Every structure is written in C-alpha cells, then in structure tokens.
Structure 1
Amino acid sequence: MYKGYFGLKESPFSIAPNPRFLFMSERHKEALAHLSYGLGETGGFALLTGEVGTGKTTISRRLMEQLPENTQAAFILNPTLSSQELLATICDELKIRYRKTGATLKTLTDKIYEKLNKNHQAKLNTLLIIDEAQHLAPEVLEQLRLLTNLETDTKKLLQVILIGQPELKQLLQRRDLRQLAQRITARYHLLPLTKGEVGHYIQHRLSVAQCDRMLFERAAVAEIHRISQGIPRIINLLCERSLTNAYCSNNALVTKKIVLLSAQEALGDEYQATFWWQHKAVKALAASAVFAVIVSSSYFLGQLYGENISEKSALNITAPAVNQVVSDTSSPAIIVADNEKIPDENAAKAITDNTAKVFKIESDGDKKRAVEQRIVKTDKPASIPMPVENSAEQLSNLADSKLAEDKATSKVKEKLSVKAVDGVSDDLLALFQSAIDDTEQDPQFKNSANQVVTPEVNAPALSDMPAWVQSDLPSLSFEQHIYTSEGESWVKVNGRDRYQGDTISEELVLNYIYAQKVILTFKGQQFSLPALSSW
C-alpha cells in the first residue's frame, strides 16, 4: 500500500525470515560464528538460544546459505514428534528410502547409519538443524544423542544444531540429559538489539528495500526501542504499521505519535500505553522534589527550634516540659510535674484529680488580696531542654558521621574496581571501568544539595531479611548480568531479560542494577542480592 508513496521496491519489514534482510549486529555475527565453529571437524551438537523474535530462524537460514557444497542438510521445523516420527522425518529430509508401513526404531536407525556412512565415504558432511527445539521430549533428545554415536577417530558423522527459546537451556540441565549436554561444543544466547542498534536495523532494512533516506524521526526510533525492547520481530510489526499510518495521514516521516498509535493497533492487549506520569524520569523527578521538600522542612524546623532554645537560654528559663496545655487564660497558672511538690501557700486549696487551685495572698501596701492560681500536674517527670552550649558537640557528631559516610562510599568504590581477567578483552574492561566511574555523575545518585549519595547500595542482604520474606519470595535465577553507565543495564531472571523498574512477579520489583548486585523490593521490603545468584 505504502511502497509507492515512500519509493520502496518491496516491503522492508516483513516478519518472514528473509536472509537478505538479516541485520548483522555484533551479537548476530557472534551467533553465526559460534554455529560455524560448532560445525567444525570435531563438532557434535551446537546450541543457539534466544527470546521469541530475536532472529534465531533467520540466522539459521543465513547459515544454510553459507554451507559448503559438500554438505547435505536436513531442516526440521516441527519437533513435536515421537522418537520414531523424528527418525522418519530425518529419513525424508535426507532422501532415505524406507518402508512406510511396519517401520521400527531399529530399521529407521539402521537406514540413517547406512546413509551417514555413504556420505562419509563420498566426503560429504551431514547436518541436522532442528528449530523450536525446546519442544523436543527428553526421550527424543536422547535418541538424537544415540544417532551421533556413529563417528570416526577424528569427527562425528552427524552434526546437529539445536535452535530454541531459553527454556531449551533449562531442559538440557536435566540430569538424564547430561550426556547430551556434554557433547555441545558451541553455545550462544542471542540478545535483543540495543537502543543504538535499533536505528541501524531500521535503516538497513530500508536500504535493502532500495530506500536511501531515513523514514523515521529520532524520537520515533527511541519509542520503537522502548516498546519493542529490541526484539526484531516486534520492531518489524511496529515499523510496518507505522509506515501504513504515515501513508494514510500523508506524513513524509514517521513520528513518535504515529508509533504510539501503531503500537496500540499492532500489539493489541500486549501493549500498555505508558502515560507521562508513569515514566521513570518523571517518577525520579517527583521523588527528588519530595526529598527536597522534606530536607527544606527539616532545615526550617531545625532553625526555628534552635531560635526558641536560644531565646529561652537568654531568659534563663528552665520550666519543666509537660504533656498538657492549659487553654483557660482567665487566671494565671503554674504547671508542675507529678514528682514536684505543689507550693505551700497560706490559702485554702480546692483539689481535683490532677488540678489544684491555690489562692495566694499578695500584699499591696496596707491592702491584701487573694489571687487564684491553678496548678496542673502531669504524669511525666520534669525534663530540662538541652542548652545551646551543646551545639558545638552536635556539629562535631555531624562531622564524624559525614567522615564515616565518606569511608563507606570509598569502600563501595573499592569493591567496584575492575581487574584484568583471562578471556575478557581490554575494550570490555574499559567499558566496565567507565560505567563505574560515570556512576557518580548519574543524576539519580545526587540529592537536592547536588551531593553524591548511594542509599540503595547499602540495602540489607536477603539473608538478613525477616523469615517471612525469605519464605514467601519466589524462586529466582539470575543467569546473566550486564551493568553499564548508559542506562542499558539488564539482567536475565528466570529466562527473561529484565531492566530497572521491571516487575518480575507479583509484588516483586527489580529496583536497581549495579555492577556486583541488584536491589529488589518484595511486598514493601527492599533488599540486595549478589549478581548471578539464585534463590
């Protein structure tokens, strides 16, 4: 519909796994390299996992295109089969003739072994690729392992690539499948695209469709990344519908408003619009404002309290503190504590439960008069306010507290130091060090006085939390942990990618991601867990 309007030769955002449109990000290049390595001389099994829509099938199609001519490949898309049905499907893919009726596991296995031997003698490699492998039953996976037992002194005669969702990794952790897991020579988990890669991904697909200009505004690209979380399939759905809506509204470019409308139409119930007051930046600003009000109010009240103490000290007033206020001002009142004596006056007294009336005789020249005085007794003993002279001691205590806080911050920074590790490139180490160095500059770690504070780092460990928190907390498995200073921190929890502010399960929220730990809140209780830990 919109191809002629935008000058496109074909639809650039089809969800079909067309290898021509494959955007080779750094992660996709690494995935393809791992699979190619797994097909080496000694390879048996290779494993490629990733979330739904990250491009696993497209990578397998690109791999098929790059296979050498001396390779015969079988591709299975529907693995929900029994052991016998799987062997029959392999025979069909490898063009092995067998009797359809009465075929048993043994006859099918013998046919496949015979084919593998013939291919080896003809110097042909045999490759089996199984997509959606997370649906394979454990007994079927064991049957696959038995097929790879046929080998020479230097190589396996059958090489297998398993492609599936993260559940496949959990399936292979079963004890009865440990023999198969030990034969996997190459593993790779494909991650979603980063914020910077989303723009390059969109431009790449437009270029393949012979469009030389960018059809999406920068704000629209940022919104696409936020909604899609970097999943290529969702990016395609959003871009396809956005181009259609831009064409219908006669817009030359796709705007952020068009993307939001397209998300509601393309994703339906899976998409929940985020209002402006729900954004993390707005929440952080509101929290900062509340914090500033609290600090300002505390400072004002402290100043007011200090002035009152100074005034009382100047007048040398040491009246006892009471927990009752006399509202009747018709006569003067004396307020004393319960452990003090009522002044002995030469007058009659009218005493109630906690009040005494004293008629004091005063002299005025030759005349005398009785003055009524009410005495209010309290339950609390008298307490004397702290003199102003103690303010110097308070300042000293504050200075000691600040020094202790600086020492604690230094200890945290020491824990976050980066050291060289075998197998980790210098560029990656530099990125981690930059992330740690930039943490102090992150506005979210500054208070209203522009001072760096990190209260969340000091959250108590889960082991120090109450027993009910530890017993009610659901199972957690932190499989991967990435910490950067550019807002792209994420962890993989229970097989899913999670970011700061995400809700992991009911009443369990991932608040912050640091280099060595994560901060979570469960039923209002905040605590910390070390990186890559399980509970």
Structure 2
Amino acid sequence: MARPILYADYFGLSERPFALQPDPSFIYWSGQHRRAFSVLEFGIMSSAPITLITGEIGAGKTTLLRALLDRLDDHVIVGLISNAQGGRGELIQWVLNALDVDIEPGETYVQLFQKLQEFIIGEYAMGRKVILIFDEAQNLSIEGLEELRLLTNINSGKDELLQLILVGQPELRDLVLNPRMRQLAQRITASFHLTPMDLPATEHYISHRLRHAGGSGEEFTPEAIAEIHQVTRGIPRLVNQMCDFAMLYAWSAESHTVTEQIIDEVLKDQVFFGAHGIPEEKPA
C-alpha cells in the first residue's frame, strides 16, 4: 500500500504542491519571471560578458537558473559555483573545480589562470562556449568581484570566449554599484532585479501550483490568499511555506478548503517563521 504524502491524498493531489525544493516543472511564469528569464537568454545569445540577476531570498532565482540549465545544449559548457568565498587565487580554484579541470597541489595563481585560459580557448576552438554561473554571488568580496572582472580579460576580438552570470540577493547590486566596481559594472550588459509578487500574481501562483499537482486551483479562498500575500509580501518561497502549513492545518481540521480562519490558526500557533526579518524592498 502506497504511503500517503501528508495532505496530498486528502486533497486529491499527486504530490505536495508547495515543497521548498526548486523544481523547474512547477515554475510559475509571472510577467517579471518571464522578463528575468528573457534577460538570461539574451545575455547568453548576445554574448554579454556579464549578466546580473538579483532578487530577495526566495524570489525564484535558483529555479530560473535550473530552468535555464535545462534548455542549454551541448555546445555550452557550464560551471556552476555556489557560495564561493575566499581571497585572490581561491576563486579561480572554485572555477576550475566547477569546470572539472584538474588542479595540481602547489600550483601558483599564474599557473591556474593559464590552465583556465587554455581550457576556455580549447573549448572555443571546438565550437563550444564557456559560461560561469555564480549563485549567491553577494557573498563575494570586492576583491573577489574584481578577480571575476579580470577573468573576462580572457576574451579578445569580437567573440566572447567566457561569459559570467552573477546571481544574488539585493546586496549584490550594492556591491556592483560601489564606485570601486565601475569597471565591472561597465561589463554588465544584461541585468534584471526580481521583485516580490503582487496580489494577483500570488493568486495565479498558488492556483498554478495546485493545478500542476492535480488540484482544482481553488483550494484556497480569496480571503486566505490575500492574507498569505500580506504575511509573505509575495515572496515565492515564503508563499510556499505558508501554503504548505495551511494545507496541513486544513487536512487536520478535515476541511477541503483553506480559509482565512485556517491561516489565522497557522499564524496564532507561530509555526511559520519565514516572514520574520523580511527586509524592506529597496527601490530599484
């Protein structure tokens, strides 16, 4: 006998519609997520030296990246680097590891840079482009970002041999706008900042995920969705957390509809911590 998936069977769903793991199959293409994805594709197709995507924690940046990776063909070599930190020389080791380029103990920075350059030129000679994606790039220091800018010096002539995609939280914008980063900023030719969803987008988002999991899309009342939007400020990851708890509470109350009262119960029991400490959105 199959094990029930928490509340999913009760609501007639094939799976939990609000799981927190990024899943491109569940992606809701809001207007701004379509624009952000178009910027990513434009950055690649136009051979932009650096593409920048920023947004609040949980805004859907990683899900967009996974959707992008699913669409890239074999002519693109991707190095994905998450949470890279460290000083000069360490960043280039992160890059070489992401590209599966072997590193010998004791190699100097010059040797590592030469090895990376030879790899990129070799891929270019075989008709392939190399893209480095830095997720959570707000963790990079000013020195780290400057080192990334220097990596783009590998490019020469009219063709871009190496492209960078920087993805991170709003603080990344602040880093890039630092006066010391003028040279880096000049190489960013494609950028987009993801903002939280408004109420109509939140309504469509919740309905979309429910229908994708086999539901009607009407399991939540409009009043419940309005309160969810107010509490989560329309940040997708927080919407997922709140909706997941709400459906769990509805299941335990033997209700097939998530009402405003059920949302109030979730909030009263203080099981939803996600909304605590949400920073105010800075103007673009």
Q: Give the TM-score range, shorter chain.
A: over 0.9
Work out the CA distance in 1 between the residues paired with 2:170 and 2:126. Answer: 37
Corresponding residue SS for 1:6: coil
**Aligned-pair CA distance for 1:22:** 1.0
1:128 partner letter: L
Counterpart mapping for 1:378-527 below 5 A: 496-497=280-281
Q: 2:3 maps to what in 1? A: none
Work out the CA distance in 2 between the residues paired with 1:269 and 1:158. Answer: 38
Structure 1 residue 204 corresponds to structure 2 residue 208:
yes
**Alpha-carbon spacing, 1:52–1:271, altered in 2? closer, same or farther (3 Å):** closer
Corresponding residue SS for 1:179: helix
**Aligned-pair CA distance for 1:164:** 0.8
1:496 partner letter: E
Work out the CA distance in 1 between the residues paired with 2:58 and 2:39. Answer: 19
Larger helix share, 1 or 2: 2
**Alpha-carbon spacing, 1:127–1:21, altered in 2? closer, same or farther (3 Å):** same
Corresponding residue SS for 2:174: helix
Corresponding residue SS for 1:162: strand
**Alpha-carbon spacing, 1:200–1:270, altered in 2? closer, same or farther (3 Å):** closer
Structure 1 residue 230 corresponds to structure 2 residue 234:
yes
Larger strand share, 1 or 2: 1
Corresponding residue SS for 1:126: strand
Work out the CA distance in 2 between the residues paired with 1:266 and 1:20. Answer: 28
Work out the CA distance in 2 between the residues paired with 1:269 and 1:97. Answer: 41
**Alpha-carbon spacing, 1:163–1:213, altered in 2? closer, same or farther (3 Å):** closer
Structure 1 residue 267 corresponds to structure 2 residue 272:
yes
CA root-mean-square deviation: 1.9
1:153 partner letter: G
**Aligned-pair CA distance for 1:29:** 0.2
Where structure 2 has 5 or more consecutive residues not aligned to the other structure, the ranges are 1-5
For residues 356-380 of structure 1, give each alpha carbon's deviation from its aligned partner in whole angstroms, at most 9, with x where no partner exists: xxxxxxxxxxxxxxxxxxxxxxxxx
Corresponding residue SS for 1:83: coil
Q: 1:42 aligns with which of 37, 44, 47?
A: 47
Corresponding residue SS for 2:153: coil
Q: 2:57 maps to what in 1? A: 52
Work out the CA distance in 1 between the residues paired with 2:164 and 2:47. Answer: 12
Work out the CA distance in 2 between the residues paired with 1:122 and 1:268. Answer: 50
Contact persistence 2:84–2:94 (CA under 8 A): no
Work out the CA distance in 1 between the residues paired with 2:150 and 2:250. Answer: 55
Corresponding residue SS for 1:90: helix
Q: 2:151 maps to what in 1? A: 147
Work out the CA distance in 2 between the residues paired with 1:269 and 1:222. Answer: 17
For residues 321-371 of structure 1, give each alpha carbon's deviation from its aligned partner in whole angstroms, at most 9, with x where no partner exists: xxxxxxxxxxxxxxxxxxxxxxxxxxxxxxxxxxxxxxxxxxxxxxxxxxx
For residues 420-452 of structure 1, give each alpha carbon's deviation from its aligned partner in whole angstroms, at most 9, with x where no partner exists: xxxxxxxxxxxxxxxxxxxxxxxxxxxxxxxxx
Corresponding residue SS for 2:131: strand
Q: 1:473 maps to what in 2? A: none
Work out the CA distance in 1 between the residues paired with 2:183 and 2:148. Answer: 11
Structure 1 residue 2 corresponds to structure 2 residue 7:
yes
**Alpha-carbon spacing, 1:496–1:187, altered in 2? closer, same or farther (3 Å):** farther
Counterpart mapping for 1:106-505 below 5 A: 106-264=110-268, 265-268=270-273, 270=275, 496-497=280-281
Aligned residues: 277
Q: Which runs of 4+ in 1 moved over 4 A?
A: 269-272
Work out the CA distance in 2 between the residues paired with 1:244 and 1:44. Answer: 46
- Judge which range, 172-181 or 239-248, deviates more: 172-181
For residues 226-270 of structure 1, give each alpha carbon's deviation from its aligned partner in whole angstroms, at most 9, with x where no partner exists: 111111111001100000000001011001011122234332495
Work out the CA distance in 1 between the residues paired with 2:69 and 2:252. Answer: 39
For residues 480-517 of structure 1, give each alpha carbon's deviation from its aligned partner in whole angstroms, at most 9, with x where no partner exists: xxxxxxxxxxxxxxx8327xxxxxxxxxxxxxxxxxxx
Q: 1:91 maps to what in 2? A: 96
Work out the CA distance in 1 between the residues paired with 2:249 and 2:73. Answer: 44
Corresponding residue SS for 2:121: helix
For residues 67-98 of structure 1, give each alpha carbon's deviation from its aligned partner in whole angstroms, at most 9, with x where no partner exists: 12200101111222333222112111111122
Contact persistence 1:45–1:161 (CA under 8 A): yes
> Percent same amino acid among aligned pairs?
36
Work out the CA distance in 1 between the residues paired with 2:38 and 2:226. Answer: 29
Q: TM-score, normalised by structure 1?
A: 0.50
Work out the CA distance in 2 between the residues paired with 1:260 and 1:103. Answer: 59
Structure 1 residue 105 corresponds to structure 2 residue 109:
yes
**Alpha-carbon spacing, 1:114–1:214, altered in 2? closer, same or farther (3 Å):** same
For residues 90-129 of structure 1, give each alpha carbon's deviation from its aligned partner in whole angstroms, at most 9, with x where no partner exists: 1111111220x21221111111000000010001010111
Work out the CA distance in 1 between the residues paired with 2:83 and 2:229. Answer: 31
Contact persistence 2:52–2:165 (CA under 8 A): yes
**Aligned-pair CA distance for 1:138:** 1.0
Contact persistence 1:238–1:266 (CA under 8 A): no
For residues 263-299 of structure 1, give each alpha carbon's deviation from its aligned partner in whole angstroms, at most 9, with x where no partner exists: 3433249559xxxxxxxxxxxxxxxxxxxxxxxxxxx
Q: TM-score, normalised by structure 2?
A: 0.92
2:30 partner letter: S
**Alpha-carbon spacing, 1:41–1:229, altered in 2? closer, same or farther (3 Å):** closer
1:152 partner letter: S
Q: 1:29 maps to what in 2? A: 34
| Structure of larger gyration radius | 1
1:234 partner letter: L
Greater RCO, CA 8 A, separation 6+: 2
Contact persistence 1:41–1:155 (CA under 8 A): no
**Alpha-carbon spacing, 1:145–1:90, altered in 2? closer, same or farther (3 Å):** same
